[in-house]
Structures are given as structure tokens and as C-alpha cells.
Structure 1
Amino acid sequence: MIVTTTAGLVRGTPRQDGTIAFLGIPYAEPPYGKNRFRAPVPKAPWKGILDATRFGATPQRKALAEVTTIPEPSIPGNSTLNVNVFKPARDLGEGPYPVLVWIHGGGYVAGSPASPWYDGAAFARDGVVSVTISYRLGFDGFGWLPDAPNNRGVLDWILALEWVRDNIAAFGGDPGNVTLCGQSAGGGAVMTLLTVPRAQGLFHKAASLSGAPVDISLNGAKDYTFGVAERLGLEAESRAFASVPEEELIQAQNWSRAPVPTQDAVAWLRQLGEVEGMLRLGPVIDAQLVQGTVAEGLAAGRGKDVPLLVGATQEEFSRLLAAHSDTFGAMSAREALRILGADDAVASAYSACAAGNTTAAVVGRYVSDMMFRRHIPRWISLRGGSLTWAYDFTWKSAVSGVSEHCLDVPFVFDVLSDPDVSRVAGPNPPQEIADAMHGAFVRFAWTGDPGWANATGDAAHVHYFDTDPARSDGYASARIVSEAHRIAHSSDVPIQT
């Protein structure tokens, strides 16, 4: 099938599942050479028909599939700023179709839009045109430089959304009914864009899965750049950084600061206590494009008219802890929480909330709340009367024994048949959860309502995805961490209880 875009003709691939995939369509010029460390440049028109039957090059240069939950293929090449579009092969009689735009995760330094877990076949089957986008990662996307625009990765997101606005009707999509969706760093990207004035009007609904906003200060971004420049023996300016081989620059970023398991329980807990500052690259608060933290933006009412769906897995960070539970021996949960930095009141309240679990499980849950889940009751509270829905994914993997980070993604995309799903979830993951979760996202894309009571102003209405409803606590433990974090950071906007 051939479609006309604003830059030229593209040819997609009809597939046996009744969908058509258009892969690797460039929305911007390659961000190399004169375009390195610059704002993205819209793709110039091409002649003839662009073959869009294979994924384009990815900004991720290092294959990470062997160390991450989601398979994330790296594809070489310089034309890395692309979109992939999945649409129904035939007219379902209900068009134009709603559009779901997906931003992948990976801590703002990794991830790939070419993952089979992001295949849009099931959405197309159900009358939703889906678009997965790539964006510059790591220092190229988010590193501060005095002679370059800040937040180049954010500018990539915005240009990709403008491409959707200008082109998606040619694929049968409705540019007036776009749902922006992402997971982990992608979920953080959704929340950032929800509060960025320049992005307003480019999407009409938003869904954040395990959103991880980093809200990096401008001074913090500068300090990071000076540190990288010192390691490389460079001046902190664009030409000097562009002269460094790409692989060497990636290594110098030293972005992986994940806690390393150790038999010394106290040392490991102290590492875990610093996990909140693990991400050093991401959207920078530059007071221009990104004008404040996500919380400040929500408190100011930005994005208040955009329906929002938020959720997380219950044990985001628990997989490593579950695998090393013997490390904590006879240490009590309360003692472990105090080493993590919780004061006596918080440690007592949290221990009571998580009573009956092993110390390792409590620690994993606490770090999960600190990194991801605490944001959800906070965001709901800050949005006040705005339409907001919350879910809790509590189903446990048969492999890890926990509802770990990224486990919900194949259920959202209804791709349980992918071989890597059984690697992570175990054999025969429950299709009924995929039916429910994917169906909720389809309904949200069509109507702006996933199908349960909204959580406007509080977290009382939380929908669970599990085969056992008893595992959901409605973010009770996350609310303890959220309120403690609010008090510690002297916020003047309380969490409603």
C-alpha cells in the first residue's frame, strides 16, 4: 500500500494479521553532521516512493535486549528519527480512527521503537492507528551544552507529534483524537509533555505507565556536562563533543548507576537509598521549553483539560530483591527502611502497611514506590477535578514471582504470543488480563474513558489488573512514600486523603 505524506510517498507492508505496517518513516533529517546537538530539522521531501517495509535506524547504539525485560533491538544507521505506523488493512467502517502515539522507555538513555512488544497489530485490529516514535537518547538528546538548544529529545517528541498532526489522516487516523502514551521514561515523557506549553494541542488524551519523570535542574545538567567533559578531556561545547566517537561518548556518560546486589545488606540498602537520583539524563528544567517540574506544571493547571490514565506495576523494582532475599537474613523490615532513609514514623507506617511480607519484599516495594508509584497519588491530587483514571497491575510473573517493571507492556499491546513474553512472564500468561488491559486502552483511545470510575482528586478508585483482586492495595503504600516525599521537599500542595 502506498500513502502520501507531506514529504513524499511511502510504501507499507500488508500483513497476514489484517494490518498494514509502515516502518522507519523519517520525520526529521539525520541528527548528525551539521545537525548534531541541534533542534530536529523536519525531513525534506524525497522523490519517488520511500520503502517503509523495515524498521529504521535507532538512536540506541548498544543492544540491551540481554539485560532488560523488554527486547530492544538496535539498528545501525544515521537516519534515527523515525515513526512506525500500524493501521487496519481494510476499512472497518468506523473511521477516521483514533490514534495512539507510543514513546518507549529506557531511562532516557536506551530503548528501541522497533521492539516486538510495541507492535501495533492488536490496536489496528481494534480500530486504533498506532504510531511508535524514536528520539535522541543520552547526551545527544538531553545533555546540556552552552551553544546548543536544551532538551533536544523533548524537541524530537514534539516534532514527531507535529508529524502525526500533519500526516496521520493519510493513514486513516484522526488528528483530532490523539492519545499520547508511554512507559517508564516514556511515561515520564508523557507527563513532561502534558505540562509543556509548546506541546499543548498536539494530543488530546494521555496515558502514563510507570512514569518516571526526572525533572533535572539546569545547574544539575551543567554539572553533569562538565563532569563528562573532564573525563573526556574536552571543552564543554558542541564542536568538541561532536569530535568524540559516538561509542566513546556513550561510555563516558556512565549512565548505568543501578544498585549492584551484594551480600552486605547494609551496603546494598544504602545504594538503594540513592536510587531516586539514578537517572542523570532526561528533560531539563530550562525555564523556556520545560518551564518547571511535572508537579509544578500540574499544580499550575497545565494539561488540566486532557483526560489522563496513570498506573504502574505493583513491584516495579522488586525482581532483584526477590532473587536475593536471603541477603537480609533476620533484619526487620523497619530496620531496613530506616537504612533506606525513612524516618521512624514512615518506617512504622510502611511496615504496618506491608505486614506479612519478607524484608526483601518490603524493601523492593518501598523502592518501587519511591521510584515510580509515589507519583500517581501525587499527580491525581494535583490535577484536582481533572479527569484522571488510575490502575494497578498486580499480576505476578511465574518467572520472577513479582509484578515487575515492564511486565504490563505486552498485556497493553496484546502480544502475549511473542517468545520473549514467556521468558519474562512464564508460560501461558493470562489472556484474560490482556483482553481487559488492551481493551481498556482501546476504549480510552476511542472515548477518553477506560471503563471504570475516575480517581479525580484522590486515589480511592483504582482499577486492578490481576487474576486475584486481593493483591491490590489501591496505592496505600505509595501514598505513605508520596506524603513523606512531599513533606521532605517542603511542597505546599498536600496529598488528599
Structure 2
Amino acid sequence: MNATSSPIDPVNTTGGAVSGIPHPHGTAYLSIPFAAPPVGANRFLAPQPHAPWSGVRTCDSYGATPQRRPFGAVTTIPEPSIPGDDTLSLSVFTPAAGEPDAGLPVLVWIHGGGYFAGSPASPWYDGRSFARDGVVTVVISYRLGFDGFGWIDGAPLNRGVLDQIAALEWVRDNISGFGGDPARVTIAGQSAGGGSVLTLLASPAAEGLFSAAISHSGAVGSLAAPEAEAIGRRFAEKLGIEPTLAGWRSVDETRILDSQDEFNQIPDAAGWTSTPAELIAAVRAHPIESMGLAFAPVIDEQTVRAPSKTIAGGQSAHIPLLLGAARDEFTFEIPGSATLETAIADLTRAGIGENEIAQYRQEVERIGSQFATSQLVSEHMFRAPAAAIASLRAAHGAGERTWLYDFAHPSAVSGLASHCHELPFAWDLLDAEGVSDVLGDAPQTLANEVHAVWVRFITHGTTEWAPVADHVAGARVFGADGGYDRNAYAFERALGRYSINS
């Protein structure tokens, strides 16, 4: 179906009938509620069932978003904030609306944004290219910041994760009406969304709700429950309230957001001037806090377990996993930071091998010695976790179902392959709003290549290159010289094995 085709009959869901709008290569249903508005009596609770509606609900435009303010400095992605209460919703892009027997594979997308920002209404998450290639796409929302992840005495932890699980349950119960197969669901996300994917792989409550997973730049970091409680108590004390459900409900949303900003401070050049050894030690000891994030998934052993321990236990060994990161991620110039030689000296003292250090040196010399410190921290935050997860899965019987990629195409604007840059290629949306501002004149041939990998993985649960069982540090490289590099993550794998001490 194309954008000028006749209207599609409404689709019945557990909440009621919905109508969509013609969209390139199919139909789009925008902002279908999967849970009740998390306000009033539902505020700070687990997601509650949405009241059924009568008649046909028109889903032809994006509704309210959990992101309440614009956060343009957090990501390079245009991510609109839309006011309103009905924030727990999802959008479906399908080439087979109203065809319950179509049995198409399903992609469920979880946006990033540091667990406090991001929007499911971004033009970078339009599912038209996947619809063209026979995939049903679902883009979900979840509560953010303190609302989704803050500790409250008497309220459930991990409300944002519970929202993601509720959305997956909606997909299980309803996606067949949109032409999707509930037994062929791939969850995918980038940054905090990629971290959410790894969290869901380790969540007993999410077991059985998806059959494959893709994690882009997924930082492996969760808060321990005592840490989350300490932050919650400090936050309540700052606002002069009791840290209880009643106390928090007495504070309006605006005041919480204003104060939350003081707890969430994304590091910038002024904040990363320590030595490489000190920075890596901080990242290793407190991965979430070192990224300036006070609110993130909390290990409660019920909804959320530590991904590394769960992988070692084999819980998700049967789930095919595609994961990786951009070559440069959060790399930026830090005035007055350590030199390349200082960083290499720290790595040598830590016991990192000469071959792995040579790989790091090559990367820094490629982009400039002014990036030596931030490149090292970036490697540890985003690339080393991917290598570590792959190694763990290989060590515990899941290597044949694990594949690594390495996004290495430099932007024509910055000269770097940075955080978020791979998304327009994966979604085959180089013409989307804001893409040319970030990437310049990006090659369509690379978008065809990366997008085809996603479609194949979502459809068949495999890729055309070797799994990590064969070469644990190897990965498929997108951009640069391309092809398969069996040592793509050798430095990151070594970095993850050693503590760095000055």
C-alpha cells in the first residue's frame, strides 16, 4: 500500500478499535495507548490498564510524550516533546494492516536519551523503510528520569522498565491484527535504549515476550538498590518532602524536573579533565553516575537483574543478539587533558598488551591526539561493554547466536563516527529531518548495507558474518574499509578485563 491508497479498515485491539493513516509502503497508527495515563492515582505506580474506548480511536498524529522538555544538547536526534497526560503509547508502521494471517516479523524500538530524555515521535524512527521490506515496526514510549526510575518508599522500582514490558505485552496480544507475528519479535534500541535491551534480556518479567535482540551503543550500567535509595532520599530532602508516595505526589511535575536537572549532569569538556587512569576508575566503579545519570534501571532482582550475571547464568542464551557501537561514540576534545603518551602509560601499567595498545594508538592518531582521553572513556562506556557481553555469551554457550558490528563511517561534518550516527543508516532514512546536518552527504549505499543487515536479522535471527563463537573480538565493520575484522574489538576486550590504576 502507498500513501495515496484508500483508507484501511480499523484494527481491533484490547483497548478498542483504532484507525491509522496511509503511510509510505503501508499504514501508520500513531500513539496507540498501551497503559493508562500515569497521573493522579496512577502517578508513580506500575503501568495500569488503559480504560477501553468506544467507537474507533483515530491514531493519525503523535500524542503526548514522557519527555516533557526539549533536550537538544543530549543527542543529535530531533526528538519532540509533546504535552499531555496520555504518555504511555506506541506507534505501529505496517505493510499489512488488518491482515492477521500475514505473520510478518516485528521490530520493537526503544529510544535512547540517557533514561531522562528522548522521544518516540522522532522522524528518525519512522518505520516506512522497514514496512517496504516486510517488517512491522513498533516504536514505544516509557517514563523517564525520576518519574520512571527514581526510588520512592512505597512505589515500585523500575517503572520505566515496567512500561517497556507492558508495551511488549501489548505487542504480544495485539500485533497480529497489524500483520505481525507475536512469536517473531525483535527488540532493539540505541544508547539508553540499547541498555534497556540488555536489561530486558536479563529480566524474568520480560521472558517470552521477544525472540531476538539488537543493542546499539548499549551502556551496561544499572544502579544498585541501596544507591538508588540514597539518591531518592537526597532528592526528597532537597525538595523538603518525605521520600514516600504521598510526599512525591505532593510535588508538581515542573518542580521535580527543575531539581532533577541538577542531579543529571552529562559530562562535558570541563568535567573530564582527570587523568585517564582516574577517569577509567570512575567509569568502572560507577558507570551510570560517571555518565551524569542519577536515574536508571535499578537492580532489584525482580524486574531487573545484573545483565552480566544473568548472561553467565544462561537465561537469555537462546536469544539471538546483534550488538555493537560506533567507532568514536562520545569522543570530543578536552582542553588540558592528558596526552596520548600519558594514556598509553596508564594502559601499560594496567597490563594491557602491546597489540591492543597499538590499536588504541591507531584510533587516536586517526582522529587527533586531543581526543586521547575522551576516546578512552568512550571506549570503556560503550564499546568495552559490547565486547564483554559478547565474550560472556560465547563463554556460556550463546556465542553461535551473538554477532558484533563496528560502525566506522565518519561523518562528513565532524569527521567522526559518533553516538547516534548509525541510526539513519539502520533505518534507511538519510532524508529524515536533521540527518544532513549531522552526517552531511551520507552514502545511500551504506544505508542499503546496514539496513539490509537489520532486516535479515529481524526476519531470520542471523547475519552473514561469523558469530563471536568463532572470533570473540571480531566484528562486521560498516564504513571505513568495511568487511569483517577479526580484531575489531581486541582493545575493548582487553580494557574490560583490567582495572586501571595510576
TM-score, normalisation: structure 2: 0.89
Gaps of at least 5 residues in structure 1 are 489-497
Q: Which amino acid aligns with 2:312?
A: A
Q: 2:330 aligns with which of 317, 321, 324?
A: 317
Is residue 201 from structure 1 mapped to residue 211 from structure 2 by the alignment?
Answer: no
Once the two structures are TM-superposed, the CA of residue 361 in structure 1 deviates from its matched residue by 3.1
Gaps of 5+ in 2: 1-7
- Amino acid corresponding to residue 51 of structure 1 in structure 2: T
Alignment of structure 1 residues 139-150 onto 2, 5 Å: 139-150=146-157
SS of the equivalent of 1:188 reads helix
Matched, 1:455 2:468: yes
Distance 1:302 1:263, change over 3 A: closer
Residues 1:438 and 2:451 aligned together: yes
CA shift digits 1:164-186 (9 cap, x unpaired): 00000000000110001111111
Task: Identify the range of structure 1 (41-50 vs 256-265) with the bigger mean alpha-carbon deviation.
Answer: 256-265
- 1:467 Cα deviation after fit: 4.4
Length, aligned pairs only: 477
Residue 63 and residue 226 in structure 1: after superposition, are their counterparts in 2 closer, same or farther (change >3 A)?
Answer: same
Question: Which of residues 93, 104, 107 is equivalent to 1:86?
Answer: 93
Cα pair 2:186 2:210 within 8 Å, conserved: yes
What is the SS of the residue equivalent to 1:4? strand
Distance 2:18 2:118 in 1: 25
Residue equivalent to 1:495 = none
The verdict on how the C-alpha distance between 1:10 and 1:207 changes in structure 2, with shifts beyond 3 A counting, is same
Amino acid at match of 2:117: A
CA distance in 1: counterparts of 2:443 and 2:480, whole angstroms: 8
Letter in 1 for 2:11: V
In structure 2, what is the Cα distance between the partners aligned to 1:395 and 1:61? Answer: 33
CA deviation after TM superposition for structure 1 residue 230, in Å: 1.4
Equivalent in the alignment of 1:103: 110
Deviation at 1:273, TM superposition (A): 6.3
Structure 1 vs Structure 2 CA RMSD: 2.6
Which residue, out of 384, 388, 392, partners 1:378?
388
How far the C-alpha of 1:332 sits from its partner, in A, is 3.2
Query: What is aligned with 1:363?
Result: 373
What's the CA shift string for 1:219-251, capped at 9, x where partnerless?
Answer: 000011011111111111111112212121012
Is the Cα contact below 8 Å between 1:185 and 1:213 reproduced in 2? no
C-alpha distance in structure 2 between counterparts of 1:31 and 1:337, whole Å: 50
1:285-308 CA-partner distances (Å, limit 9, x unpaired): 112222x31100100111111111
Deviating beyond 6 angstroms after TM superposition, the runs of 4 or more aligned structure 1 residues are: 90-94
Query: 1:344 and 1:461, CA in 2 relative to 1: closer, same or farther beyond 3 A?
Result: closer
- 8 Å contact 2:64–2:85 — kept in the other structure? yes
Tell me the amino acid that sits aligned with residue 108 of structure 1. Answer: Y
Give deviations 1:141-185, integer Å, cap 9, x for gaps. 111112011111111111100000000000000011000111111
Equivalent in 349, 353, 356 of residue 359 of structure 2: 353
The answer on whether the counterparts of 1:5 and 1:167 sit within 8 Å (CA) in structure 2 is: yes
Rate the CA distance shift 1:234–1:272 in 2: closer, same or farther, 3 A. farther
Structure 2 matches for 1:123-162, cutoff 5 A?
Answer: 123-162=130-169
Mean Cα displacement is larger for which, 195-204 or 238-247? 238-247
Selected match of 1:286 from 293, 300, 304? 300
The answer to whether the 8 A contact 1:18-1:90 is kept is no
Aligned to 2:312: 299
Determine if the alignment matches structure 1 residue 464 to structure 2 residue 483.
no
Residue deviations 1:180-220 (CA, integer Å, cap 9, x gap): 11111111111111111111110000111111232210000
Contact 1:136 1:156 in 2 (8 A): yes
Tell me how far apart the structure 2 counterparts of residues 471 and 198 of structure 1 sit (CA, whole Å).
36
The answer on 1:256 being equivalent to 2:264 is yes
What amino acid is the match of 1:152?
Answer: R
Shift of 1:44: 2.0
Q: How far is the alpha carbon of 1:268 from its aligned partner?
A: 9.8
* Distance in 1 of aligned mates of 2:28 and 2:136: 10
For 1:158 and 1:8, how far apart are their aligned partners in 2?
20
Residue 393 of structure 1 aligns with which residue?
407
Structure 1 residues 310 and 267 mapped into 2: Cα distance closer, same or farther (>3 Å)?
closer
1:417 to 408, 431, 443: 431
Whether the aligned pair in 2 keeps the contact of 1:14 and 1:89 (CA below 8 Å) is: no
Give the conservation status (yes or no) of the 8 Å contact 1:101–1:181: yes
User: Structure 1: how far apart are the matches of 2:97 and 2:39?
Assistant: 38
Q: Secondary structure at the match of 1:177?
A: strand
| Counterpart selection for 2:59 from 43, 52, 57 | 52
Does the 8 Å contact 2:402/2:468 carry over to 1? yes
Aligned to 2:19: 11
> Would you say the 8 A contact 1:28–1:42 is kept in 2?
yes
> Are the aligned partners of 2:74 and 2:117 in contact in 1 as well (CA < 8 Å)?
no
- Report the Cα offset of residue 262 of structure 1: 3.8
Larger deviation, residues 175-184 vs 94-103: 94-103
